[in-house]
Amino acid sequence: MRSVPNHPTHDRAMTDAARAAPPIRPVPRGLLYVTAGLTGGLVMVIEILGARVIGPFFGVSLFVWTALISVTLLSLALGYATGGWLADRHPSADWLYGLIAAAGAYVLLIPAFKVGVMEFGLGFGLRGGTFVAAMLLFGPSLFLLGCVSPYLLRLAAADMARLGRTAGVLYAVSTAGSFAGSALTGFYLLGYVGVSNGLRLAGALLVGLALLHFLLARRWAGLAAAVALLPAAAVQHGLPSVTLPDGTEARVIAAQDGFYGAVKVIEYRGSHLATREMIIDGLVQGGMDASDGRPIYEYAYLLSRLPLAVRPDGRSALVVGLGMGAAPRWLTHAGIDTEVVEIDPLVHEMARRHFAFPESIPVHIEDARTYLARDGRQYDFILLDVFNGDTTPGYLLSLEALEAVKSRLSAGGVLALNLIGGVHGEDAMLPAIVRTLEQVFGGVSLHPAYAPTPGQPLAGNFVLLASDGPLRFATRPALDDAHPLAASVRQLALLPPVPVDTTGATVLTDEFNPLDLLDTRYKESVRRQIIETTPHEILLAG
């Protein structure tokens, strides 16, 4: 067999290319794997925390997650392309860890400039603003982290014959890191560290990784620069106090990130009145007079009083969703044996510490759907007051969920729901909920918890009642203790139920439940009102 001689021109080209290629200083293989795992994990940490940074301002909705996922994918894609280009031109570990240090420095600064960025994003509308804010807050760091994978491969692939194996191990380690980052953030970091501190921790880890490389490689200038960045991780901001245009002082007295949302307690003090509110992800969950504990919003009275006016002989109640605890506290005071189901232990803690919620009322820390699905005690009243962001979670309003609710009601028992939505229009939410309830209960009635404006579409806060028994008031609703700020509740209780046209409305099921896509324009108007009326420092405190 004749051997093929080497082509001299080819050999010369290979020699010239090898001579032109800059030498690659060896990097410890273990450090490369640590880098792949840690940066892969922190990409997921930044993405998950990002939704919680934006949520209190723009709301926790499908649009927020869409913006965060889109920004993450776009930034990483641009980072992969740029990182490959840079790695071929500057195949140096110093460049790689310089990029990582820059990503960490940017993450460290996010808590400091997030308010200004989100205010700037508002100029693009709510949906556009969500995307712009996500891009400005998280795009740069995710772009820089996207540069890491091709750089690692370039530095690790000294033996071209093992390129596939090397790439496979690096991507496996990076993906394992992403898994760990997702799990640790969702199960531990959010609840025990919080969003801002979580970002500071992520930034410090990235800077610390760069510092480790510069130390091992004895790059003293890079080491000094990395050390100089670390103090930014220790910067903390106190809870804000803001004076409103009318002279009222708004002060955040408690703010903590939980597994299910950012919970804040805000106290407003004016010349004649002090009120206290609980807000979760920017949405008010209840308010009371700080001096006597009476609720200051109409829905809190209607939700607890209307069911008892329908069935005054009821003796037991289950409240789903604690909030500040106004409904269960009043029901217990009225002699009703009351229990509460609340998914978030942080809400329970805040209600006890800041809203005088008594420890004597049993609170089950559990998801409402699983609690209601179990065989157990039946109640004369079930009050459902649950919000995730700007709407009630759809899985609690599906046909299957409402059938589970009915199974826990005694004969003739009354279900009361606190809802925010519209009555008219193709994308109105309430017709779908009413029609779904009508599949389960014999009687359904809708009661406004606000004063409707003549000639305007009906959209706002409503209390919806459902029962297999008659839904006529057997007695006058007990509203003599209504707070002056909620004095209109007496007139609202006398209004006839709002008729709802359910023709063509969707029956919500676990299989098909488009609740997040209904009333989007109204939800955006609510969120816009929140942003316009609440100081941004208050919304983003913590």
DSSP label of 4: P
Which CATH number fits the domain that encloses residue 524? 3.40.50.150
Q: Give the mean pLDDT per block of 10 residues along the chain (542 residues).
A: 47 46 68 94 94 81 84 96 93 92 93 88 84 95 96 77 80 93 88 87 92 83 68 65 87 89 91 90 90 94 96 97 96 96 95 95 95 88 89 91 95 96 91 96 95 84 93 92 93 93 94 88 83 82 71
Q: Is 417 left (phi over 0), alpha (psi -120 to 50) or beta?
A: beta
Query: In this structure, are residues 289 and 487 in contact, taking their beta carbons and an 8 Å threshold?
Result: no
Query: Do 221 and 313 lie in a common domain?
Result: no
Which CATH number fits the domain that encloses residue 57? 1.20.1250
Query: In this structure, are residues 412 and 446 in contact, taking their beta carbons and an 8 Å threshold?
Result: no
Query: Do 55 and 178 lie in a common domain?
Result: yes
Q: How does pLDDT run across 435-484, given as a tens digit for each residue?
A: 999 999 999 999 999 988 887 888 899 999 999 988 999 999 999 999 99
Question: What residues form DSSP beta bridges with 388?
Answer: 391
Q: What are 101's two structure tokens?
A: 């240090």
Q: How many CB atoms lie within 10 A of CB 390?
A: 23
Name residue, tokens 């896509």. 517
Query: Do 322 and 216 lie in a common domain?
Result: no
Query: Do 192 and 301 lie in a common domain?
Result: no
Full domain range(s) for residue 473: 297-537
Query: In this structure, are residues 149 and 32 in contact, taking their beta carbons and an 8 Å threshold?
Result: no
- Whole-structure pTM value: 0.84
Does the residue 487 lie in any domain? Answer: yes
Query: Do 373 and 452 lie in a common domain?
Result: yes
Distances from the Cα of 39 to the Cα of 79, 99, 280, 471, 495, angstroms: 13, 11, 31, 59, 59
Distance (Å, rounded) from C-alpha 384 to C-alpha 382? Answer: 6
**Would you state the pLDDT for residue 13?**
45
- C-alpha dihedral, 164 to 167 to 173 to 176, nearest 10°: -80
Number of domains the chain contains: 2
Q: What are 57's two structure tokens?
A: 């301002």
- C-alpha dihedral, 505 to 511 to 514 to 515, nearest 10°: 90
Query: In this structure, are residues 304 and 467 in contact, taking their beta carbons and an 8 Å threshold?
Result: no
Does the residue 485 lie in any domain? Answer: yes
Query: Do 501 and 367 lie in a common domain?
Result: yes
Task: Kindly report the length of the chain.
Answer: 542
Choose the final residue of a domain: 194, 219, 234: 234
Query: In this structure, are residues 434 and 507 in contact, taking their beta carbons and an 8 Å threshold?
Result: no
Choose the final residue of a domain: 234, 255, 279: 234
